[in-house]
Structure 1
Amino acid sequence: MKKLPSLLFCLLTFGGYAQENEEMAVKNTIEAFFKGFHRQDSVQIKKTLAGNVVMQTIAKDEMGNPVVKTQASSDFLKSIVAIPETTKFEEVINSYSIQIDGPMAHAWTPYTFNLDGSFHHCGVNSFQLVKDADKGWQIVYVIDTRRKGGCK
């Protein structure tokens, strides 16, 4: 009976450790995505994406109403590679909030986007990931917001 508390402690500690490892793996996938993004390396970006990834952004129409715009991943990759080398851009992730349930994960990442060393816009990325048995965590859906003000 005296060993039961020790056993429970070990099981709870291991469960927390496993969750932390999965959260780190999700974060690593997103960081690899942005590493490829900043290097304009479409091959590296593709390694983080599921084949059927959905990429969207929430913009505003002429009247200021929210509009969801969808972009094919191939068009996204072409647009990143086409950015001139003289243009310096960086998306800085300010924090991560990661939730995991088995093979599904969600990451909420507020960010600031800088263009040529100056603030351009900010917003939030919402990533949905699925854990593939062979490839690990893969991004299956990303949607973001973009605004010029109200940034933290």
Structure 2
Amino acid sequence: MKKAIRWIIPLAIGLGTLASPAHAQDSKNEVLQVAQDLLDAIGKGDTAAFRSLFLPHAMIYTVREKDGQTVTASRSPFAATFRPGTVVKEEMKDHGVDVRVQGNMAQVWAPYNLWVNGTFSHCGVDVFTLLKTNEGWRIAALSYTIEKEGCEVP
């Protein structure tokens, strides 16, 4: 009996400290909201709102196929500017979005479609890596594909 108590009590204490399913869902919703806030900032051309969602040393990475070659690029989100008169609308697709949270780290995998000035441009997948700071969830890295073929456009 003493042996059983030695491991039952620590187990019970450990289980009691696990995040509740409601808390886990709240974290997922918070993380997904940051991703949506970024898309909203892009749609409004709001550079200040866009930049405020990133950590100071965050990076943005892209990958696309061009002329049969894979082309990658990277840049700081703080170098991003929006062209006056250009309206960019990016929408997460209703299916395929996956949000994972582990403590103070999270990732969002989100298929998207993008339009420029009302004309469909491309689709792809956004992958947000976020870290929870004292100010809330912030984007540490954003990676996305740019795909011109095989897009499901509503």
Fold conserved between structures, TM > 0.5: yes
Report the counterpart of residue 107 of structure 1 in structure 2: 108
Q: Does 1:60 align with 2:65?
A: yes
Report the counterpart of residue 84 of structure 2 in structure 1: 84
Runs of 4+ in 1 over 4 A off after TM superposition: none
How far apart in 2 are the matches of 1:59 and 1:75? Answer: 20
Measured after TM superposition, the shift of residue 66 of structure 1 is 1.4
Measured after TM superposition, the shift of residue 111 of structure 1 is 0.3
Q: Note closer, same or farther for the CA distance 1:115–1:61 as it changes in structure 2 (3 Å cut).
A: closer
Pick the structure with greater CA Rg: 2
Q: Is the deviation greater in 89-98 or in 136-145?
A: 89-98
Gaps of 5+ in 2: 1-15
Aligned length: 135
Residues 20-78 of structure 1, C-alpha deviations (whole Å, 9 max, x = no match): 1000000111111111111111111122111011111002354x2212201122222x2
* Structural RMSD (CA): 2.0
Gaps of 5+ in 1: 1-10
Report the counterpart of residue 136 of structure 1 in structure 2: 136
Q: TM-score, normalised by structure 2?
A: 0.80
Alignment counterpart, residue 56 of structure 2, candidates 51, 55, 60: 51
Identity of aligned residues (%): 23
How far apart in 1 are the matches of 2:126 and 2:79? Answer: 19
**Paired residues of 1:59 and 1:69 also in contact (CA < 8 A):** no
Q: TM-score, normalised by structure 1?
A: 0.81
Residues 63-117 of structure 1, C-alpha deviations (whole Å, 9 max, x = no match): x2212201122222x2x2xx132x3220011142100110110100100001222
Report the counterpart of residue 92 of structure 2 in structure 1: 93
Report the counterpart of residue 71 of structure 1 in structure 2: 75
